Amino acid sequence: GGLFTLPLLFFVPFNRTPLLSDWAYITALAVFCSSLCYVIYFGLVVKVGATRAISVEFLVTLVAVLIGAIYLKEVITLIQLLGGAFVLVGCVFILGLFGLGKTSAPSIQ
């Protein structure tokens, strides 16, 4: 993602010229944090399967909204609450929690 947005830096006005340390921090975030997330995610896919692993991705938006509300004092709207409820219910069905949703497929013989 960082490589695709890099050309946009030429169109953003800066108050000062970025220092070498600024570029080092950006590079560290792009390389290490992104790669660490991919390693963890694909390790999760191998360990629990793609269906369960993708449910983690669904919850990212819900967590981001909650963090925004807690730390940035953003107001949570009714549509966000409804959307969050749909995400949670969808994850419950996808993961087969509480005996809901997912059933075993019949065996083919």
DSSP of the chain: -HHHHGGGGGGS--SSPPPHHHHHHHHHIIIIIHHHHHHHHHHHHHHH-HHHHHHHHHHHHHHHHHHHHHHS-PPPPHHHHHHHHHHHHHHHHHHTGGG-S--PPPPP-
The pLDDT score that the predictor gives to residue 15 is: 84
Q: Provide the whole-model pTM.
A: 0.57
The pLDDT score that the predictor gives to residue 20 is: 92
Tokens of 26: 């950006």
Tokens of 32: 């290490």
Are the CB atoms for 82 and 39 separated by under 8 Å? no
Within the chain, which residues score under 50 in pLDDT?
none
Tokens of 90: 């969808």
- Of residues 59, 53, 24, 25, the one with CA closest to residue 40: 53
The pLDDT score that the predictor gives to residue 73 is: 94
The pLDDT score that the predictor gives to residue 46 is: 92
Q: What is the pLDDT of residues 7-19, one digit of tens each?
A: 887 888 878 888 8
The pLDDT score that the predictor gives to residue 109 is: 58
